[in-house]
Amino acid sequence: MSTDLNDTHRPWLDPKQEPFIKIRGVTKRFGDFTAVDNVDLDIYKSELFCLLGGSGCGKSTLLRMLAGFETPTAGNIFIDGEAVANIPAYARPVNMMFQSYALFPHMTVEKNIAYGLKRDGLPKKEITRRVAEMIELVELGDFRQRKPNQLSGGQRQRVALARALVKQPKVLLLDEPLAALDKRLREHTQYELMNIQDQLGVTFIVVTHDQEEAMTLSTRIAVMDQGRFIQTGTPTEIYESPDSRFVANFIGSANIFQGHVITSTADHVVVRSAQDDTLQFTVRHSAELAQNTKVWVAVRPEKIRMLKDAPTTPGPNQLAGSVHDIGYLGRLSNYKIKLDNGKMIDVTHPNQTRPTSGRHLVDWDERVYLHWDSASAIVLTH
């Protein structure tokens, strides 16, 4: 069962699997500005792969090189075993869904979806069949005769998706596909997109700047910054095991303590805080670090336990402070705890019980004691 899972759902773990898309040393310069900087990446068949990063980090440029709208300054791209450098955009086995959707305003939903097939000169019968299939897939049956300006944002998004998929590409490139939708619709559409991808088995590469969207959608994520890949992994790997402060802060939030390694064994590291030398952290860690190495200990807000009583025995990973701020969000609350040394710590707790008489678990200015398990924190070296 577990090998089966690896083969079908985690092809990147199987050295026998050939990547469907190979990006090798790809760079794109505009004048003397480097938009994409020497990136390598393997994407496997039927993945839903996300390129995630802030605005201007080079996501769209990389996508456009895959589509054939931009030419790499250096490096090679292979799709399904073939180098695509000399293959023009229209002849590549990929299709792109643009951020703006780029629908034809004067054409009906049906005609918008049929357009590409008509231009390719497919027989009328086949066009009718394929367009009908797509309209059913994206559930636009009641809207086939409408024009784009008679549709909601979500419906327009689905027309754009159908129009891109009707050509049966092996790879669909989606540039910020949900950015134009409001929050609730975006969440709904994320699941719709995953279902459609799952049904068709087409490889999706999605560009987004929205970390929650990337976490929800992807098989794997590449986090980008300034034209480079900072870390690539599954959503769980990226969130639970970020390998830099950049990723720890970019995906979710993290409390970060700077310090130095006091002792390091095969399974854990002891770190002394640089800010407060009475403070020690024990972190379970697989790699050994030399004594005195400068490191950062990162802990996610939801991994910290908060108690009103002082611990009976002092130990590592224990902090004391007072409640500085409470953000009540209904299903959870965010607390800002001001430590005795002045540092502010974020703690998140689910609201598992209904507060009686409108009182919180703890109150403003109340004294609290924080603690986490050594397996809940991570050590970062940069």
Ligand X SMILES: Nc1ncnc2c1ncn2[C@@H]1O[C@H](COP(=O)(O)OP(=O)(O)O)[C@@H](O)[C@H]1O
Residue found under tokens 């769980």: 236
Burial class (CB in 10 A: 0-12, 13-18, 19+), 300: buried
Q: Which of 7, 25, 56, 124 touches ligand X (CB under 6 A)?
A: 56
Q: Which of 1, 3, 15, 55 binds ligand X (CB under 6 A)?
A: 55
Query: Which residues contact residue 315 at a Cβ distance below 8 angstroms, ignoring those fewer than 6 apart?
Result: none
**Which one of the spans 29-37, 60-68, 283-291, 339-347 is the region binding Mg ion (CB under 5 A)?**
60-68
Q: Is the dihedral of CA 68, 74, 79, 81 positive or negative?
A: positive
Judged by CB under 6 A, does residue 61 bind ligand X? yes
Tell me which stretch binds Mg ion (CB under 5 A): 32-40, 56-64, 131-139, 276-284: 56-64
Q: What is the 3-state secondary structure (H, E, C) of 43-83?
A: ECCCCEEEEEECCCCCHHHHHHHHHCCCCCCEEEEEECCEE
Long-range contacts of 194-199 (CB under 8 A, 24+ apart): 194/48, 196/137, 196/138, 196/161, 196/165, 197/46, 197/48, 199/137
| Amino acid letter, 12 | W
- Six token digits for residue 89: 């955009």
Identify which range of 7-15, 55-63, 162-170, 246-254 contacts Mg ion by CB under 5 A: 55-63
Interface characters, 7-46, with ligand X (x: CB under 6 A): -----------------------x--x-x-----------
User: What is the rounded distance in angstroms from the CA atom of residue 195 to the CA atom of residue 211?
Assistant: 20
Nearest distance in Å: CB 378, Mg ion: 30
Q: Which stretch binds ligand X (CB under 6 A): 51-59, 164-172, 178-186, 285-293?
A: 51-59
Nearer to ligand X, 179 or 326 (CB): 179
Nearer to Mg ion, 172 or 283 (CB): 172
Q: Which is nearer to ligand X, 47 or 175 (CB)?
A: 175
Q: Which residue number, 135 or 222, has a Cβ lying nearer to ligand X?
A: 222
Name residues contacting ligand X, limited to 257-316 (CB under 6 A): none
348 binds Mg ion (CB under 5 A): no
Which residues make up the interface to ligand X (CB under 6 A)? 30, 33, 35, 53, 55-61
Residues forming contacts to Mg ion in the complex (CB under 5 A) are 60
